[in-house]
């Protein structure tokens, strides 16, 4: 099963993703994509580590190239977060088509797992025109999110910590 969780920043997406994964008695892998590039990023990473400390996750820190990850069969995987991954591929990976690369990596992980939960962010909804690099990031995220939503069995938007099912169902 493939689950996509979306919503605004800092609204409970990770908590819900971890709740879903915790329902499965399978080996659990957490693919962390946030690079510790600042004190704020480091604090966020530490907070996420503390929140999942007792949840039996094996953490894989993979900032780019998720298609190279090999997961044991019959595992549960949480990919956190597509937004960070896209920024990393664009601005540190230096590739021309990050959306295609990320979608290929997602397909690879999806084929290897029993349950695959992905966390993404909604961007570009404010209608503001940004510098060209940011607008390209917003376009790439739109392509990625649309494609992931299409292939996912369940799509959840988290609004103020409340899961709203947009596609499919599961128990929380």
Of the candidates 151, 158, 161, the residue with the CA atom closest to the CA atom of residue 3:
151
The strand pair at 28-32 and 57-61 is best described as parallel
User: Smallest Cα–Cα separation from 166: which of 144, 154, 20, 79?
Assistant: 154
**How confident is the chain (172 residues) per 10-residue block, as mean pLDDT?**
93 93 95 87 80 86 95 95 94 83 97 96 82 92 97 97 96 84
Helix (H) or strand (E) holding 158: strand 154-159
In the prediction, which pLDDT does 93 show?
Answer: 65
What is the rounded distance in angstroms from the CA atom of residue 23 to the CA atom of residue 25? 7
What's residue 45's pLDDT?
77
> Given this model, what pLDDT does residue 35 score?
83
Backbone angles phi, psi at 167, to 5 degrees: -155, 130
> What's the CA dihedral at 39, 42, 47, 49 to 10 degrees?
-170
Q: Give, in order, the Cα–Cα distances in Å from 33 to each of 55, 82, 120, 131, 140.
A: 19, 8, 11, 24, 17
Q: What superfamily in CATH does domain 2-167 come from? A: P-loop containing nucleotide triphosphate hydrolases (3.40.50.300)
pTM passes above 0.85 = yes
Q: Give me the pLDDT at residue 172, please.
A: 81
Pinpoint the alpha helices (H) of the chain.
13-22, 39-51, 82-91, 98-112, 132-151
Residue labelled with tokens 């494609």: 147
Domain ranges of the chain: 2-167
Residue-level pLDDT at 126: 77
């Amino acid at each position: 099963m493939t689950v996509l969780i979306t919503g605004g920043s800092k609204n409970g997406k990770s908590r819900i993703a971890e709740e879903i994964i915790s329902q499965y008695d399978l080996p659990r892998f957490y693919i962390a994509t946030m690079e510790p590039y600042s004190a704020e990023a480091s604090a966020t990473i530490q907070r996420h580590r503390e929140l999942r400390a007792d949840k039996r996750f094996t953490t894989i820190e993979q900032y780019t190239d998720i298609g190279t990850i090999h997961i044991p069969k019959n595992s549960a995987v949480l990919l956190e977060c597509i937004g960070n991954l896209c920024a990393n591929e664009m601005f540190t990976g230096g590739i021309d088509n990050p959306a295609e690369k990320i979608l290929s990596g997602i397909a690879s992980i999806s084929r290897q797992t029993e349950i695959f939960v992905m966390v993404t962010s909604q961007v570009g909804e404010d209608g503001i025109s940004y510098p060209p690099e940011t607008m390209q990031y917003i376009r790439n995220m739109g392509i990625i999110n649309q494609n992931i939503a299409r292939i996912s069995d369940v799509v959840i938007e988290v609004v103020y910590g409340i899961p709203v099912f947009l596609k499919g169902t599961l128990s929380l």
